[in-house]
Amino acid sequence: MCGIVGYTGENQAAPILLDGLKRLEYRGYDSAGLAVRDGDALAEVVKATGKLYHLADKTDQGRSLPGNCGIGHTRWATHGDPSLINAHPHVSGNCSGSGSGKVESDVVGVHNGIIENYGELKEKLLRHGYLFYSDTDTEVVVKLVDYYYKKYKIGPVDAITRTMVRVRGSYALALMFKDHPGEIFAARKDSPLIIGTAENAAFLASDVPAILKYTRSVYYIGNLQVARLSPGSVKFYDLNGDEITLPLTEITWDAEAAEKGGYEHFMLKEIHEQPAAVRDTLGSLIKDGKIDLTAAGITDDILLSLSQIIITACGSAWHVGIAAQYVIEDMAKVPVRVELASEFRYRSLPMSKNILVIVISQSGETADSLAALRLAKEKGAETLAVVNVVGSTIAREADHVLYTLAGPEIAVATTKAYSAQLVALDALAVQMALVKGTVSAEQYSHLIEELIGIPDKITRVLEDKERLQWFSSKIANAHDIFFIGRGLDYAISLEGSLKMKEISYIHSEAYAAGELKHGTISLIEKNTLVIGVLTQSQMIEKTISNMAECKSRGAYLMGVTTNGNFAGEDSVNFTVYIPRTDEHFVSSLAVVPLQLLGYYTSVNRGLDVDKPRNLAKSVTVE
């Protein structure tokens, strides 16, 4: 999983490429590189390990690299270490170094994705005299293109399509050919890639924000399609090499939306954008006081016919599934299974048309979620994608798509997309309950009113952030944190714990409160922080008892609960109160203090909040 960019036009390419890569750094940040051509001159390749600023420093912010046509890459290592040699771009020539400097090669390229049969292709190329300097699958693809280009004496498009037929796996590729100055060739399968066009310029990128400063006119290139970019012109081809036409999309959201907007970190900005993300998502699903899912292709007839729901996703999106399971089962009385997408294929789950498989994904590109979607379709289930990124692979391949309207999410740790997913699934539960006759018309209207009230209540929770900032400074040196809750409170504990550990690097675990005493309680010692989520009235007392069990073993307690009489006030050391709402929807409020706690703890520990170590925003490898 990596980010790629390309530019050809009248301006100096390198600064534009660096600017685009900066906006794609969330996709990977262990090394980066550029290849730029100045007219007919050979391409010059510059690479740097570590974060993007090293590459920017090395090239004087791009100014030292002349030329109006180039490609760039920011890497998250899959094949081979995060080293200079493995950093992209890669070249087709048999060079001795890492492919840096002025390159004699006929082909130079960058790649996002994974080539599964790269070993076998490498063998073939070695037999034909190619030498390899890196451990990457990308170098293999670049050399394979070169091989076909020379062997059949064909043009770049045909050499690329021949390569596409031969490789297995996923790719977004951008290539420059020595004989074609001013042109960039791109190809895509199962990895994100968009092509932008402007007067006398053309762009490519893994994601829209990378080029939004320069153009709003974008093509979503399809699977197994090729693009040929030259200044002011873009042509598309299918796998046969025949020219095809693609629709041009005008991006309506603002580039500002992808900037920090005055906040210190994207994560904090995105936490504050949750009222809007939730309001916009609900606004697209609720019309005239009724939930309308027809834009997502989910009719009342489909809902009525369903005998089971299977939700599959990864990470935080999976946590949304766990929360939705409690809500849908309780409200609509329909059984729900929630499966980790990475485990989905190892279960022999029976599928049929009256089972709806819901795949939840912010990026719409998560490899495991995509694989689960494909398997579910293959087995004959009806599929619904709940996705944030428009035009992403999961969105395109599912039978139905419900878009969350969270806007671009840049911080690696998800916040606003999570919240938007949560309310989207809540709305589905409410509509299903109406259709299945498990709620009355009156209850239905009340539930919708409660849903509509959530954004303002999130705003109120955000107003309490200073207290959380203060508390986080006290726990910044914690070694272990346990998040506990029952029912929906357990689902929120899972997300609170992930937020804490992924950005603060403090070990944390989420437990169903009643499960703690079956082993894990032996880890509780003096000053271990135990955070209880206490919003489900039927279960609060029981969870408080579990917290008391921890306290008697030395634990320090924090509670998140709803306004009103809280029985645990005296025993809990620090309590966060959230506004009241229907208990099915309270997760949308309870998660916010836990996000803030993770955020401030990370800041207090001086960590890179938006780009935590070892992670990437979009996990396009299995």
Q: Shortest Cβ distance from residue 371 to ligand F6R (Å)?
A: 12
Q: Per the structure block, which two tokens stand in for 459?
A: 């705003």
Q: Compute the least distance from the CB of residue 306 to ligand F6R, in Å.
A: 23
| Residue 529: closest CA among 491, 498, 558 | 558
DSSP state of 255: G
281 binds ligand F6R (CB under 6 A): no
x/- string (CB under 6 A) for ligand F6R, residues 462-501? ------------------------------------x---
Say if residue 153 is exposed, middle or buried (CB neighbours under 10 Å; 0-12, 13-18, 19+).
Answer: exposed
Q: Which is nearer to ligand F6R, 92 or 383 (CB)?
A: 383
Q: Is 404 in the site for ligand F6R (CB under 6 A)?
A: no
| Least distance in angstroms from the C-beta of 496 to ligand F6R | 11
Annotated catalytic, 2?
Answer: yes
Among 414, 431, 508, 588, binds ligand F6R (CB under 6 A): 414
In the bound state with ligand F6R, the residue whose beta carbon lies nearer, of 406 and 539, is 406
Rounded to whole angstroms, the Cα distance separating 172 from 205 reads 9
Q: Which stretch binds ligand F6R (CB under 6 A): 329-337, 342-350, 359-367, 564-572?
A: 359-367
Residue 406 C-beta: closest distance to ligand F6R, Å: 11
Three-state SS at 573: coil
Binding segment for ligand F6R (CB under 6 A), chosen from 147-155, 360-368, 452-460, 525-533, is: 360-368
Q: How far is the CB of 317 from ligand F6R (least distance, A)?
A: 4
Share in percent of the chain as helix, strand, coil (round to 5): 40, 25, 35
Q: Are strands 233-237 and 225-230 parallel, antiparallel or unpaired?
A: antiparallel
Q: Please, which residue, 159 or 402, has the CB nearer to ligand F6R?
A: 402
Reduce the DSSP state of residue 68 to 3 states and report it. coil
Residue placing its CB nearer to ligand F6R in the complex, 361 or 528: 361
State yes or no: residue 393 binds ligand F6R (CB under 6 A): no
Q: Is the peptide bond before 247 cis (omega within 30 degrees of 0)?
A: no
Nearer to ligand F6R, 98 or 414 (CB): 414
Residue pair 5/32 in contact by the 8 Å Cβ criterion: no
Minimum CB distance to ligand F6R, residue 345 (Å)? 16
Closest approach, Cβ 618 to ligand F6R, in A, equals: 6
Token readout for 394 is: 């999961």
Residue of minimal Cβ distance to ligand F6R: 315
Q: Which stretch binds ligand F6R (CB under 6 A): 136-144, 355-363, 467-475, 531-539?
A: 355-363
- Does 419 help bind ligand F6R (rule: CB under 6 A)? no
CB of 250 to ligand F6R, least distance (A): 25
Packed helices 118-127 and 137-151: angle between N→C axes, nearest 10 degrees: 50
The span from the CA of 144 to the CA of 122, in Å, is 9
Site for ligand F6R in 84-143 (CB under 6 A): none
Between CA 150 and CA 172 the distance in angstroms is 22
Torsion of CA 304, 307, 310, 311, to 10 degrees: 30
Please identify, using beta-carbon distances, which residue of 201 and 500 lies nearer to ligand F6R. 500
| Interacting residue with ligand F6R among 191, 362, 431, 543 (CB under 6 A) | 362
Identified catalytic residue from 47, 189, 416, 617: 617
DSSP state of 437: T
Question: How far is it, in rounded angstroms, from Cα 401 to Cα 364?
Answer: 11
Out of 59, 68, 161, 369, the residue judged to bind ligand F6R by CB under 6 A:
369
Contacts (CB under 6 A) with ligand F6R, residues 306-335 = 314-317
Question: Does residue 206 bind ligand F6R (CB under 6 A)?
Answer: no
Q: Binding residue for ligand F6R (CB under 6 A) from 138, 161, 225, 361?
A: 361
Give 242 or 343: the residue with its C-beta nearer to ligand F6R: 343
Instruction: Tally the C-alpha atoms within 13 A of residue 587's C-alpha that lie toward its C-beta.
Output: 33
The pair of structure tokens assigned to 132 is 């390899």
Nearest to residue 222, comparing CAs of 250, 194, 197?
194
Cα separations in angstroms, 310 against 328, 330, 351, 388: 11, 15, 9, 20
Q: Which of 74, 363, 508, 581 binds ligand F6R (CB under 6 A)?
A: 363
Please identify, using beta-carbon distances, which residue of 109 and 593 lies nearer to ligand F6R: 593
* CB of 27 or CB of 111, closer to ligand F6R: 27
CA dihedral 94, 98, 103, 107 (to 10 degrees): 70
Is residue 189 flagged as an active site residue?
no
Is 176 a binding residue for ligand F6R by CB under 6 A? The answer is no
Choose among 579, 206, 259, 588: nearest CA to 404.
588
- Tell me, by CB under 6 A, how many residues bind ligand F6R: 15
**Nearest distance, CB of residue 458 and ligand F6R, angstroms:** 18
- Least Å distance between CB 117 and ligand F6R? 25
Q: Are 314 and 339 in contact (CB under 8 A)?
A: no
Angle ∠(544,459,543) on CA atoms, nearest 5: 10
8 Å CB contact between 236 and 246: yes
Burial class (CB in 10 A: 0-12, 13-18, 19+), 301: exposed
Site membership for ligand F6R, residue 502 (CB under 6 A): yes
Q: Which residues are catalytic?
A: 2, 617
Contact footprint for ligand F6R (CB under 6 A): 314-317, 361-363, 366, 369, 413-414, 498, 502, 618-619
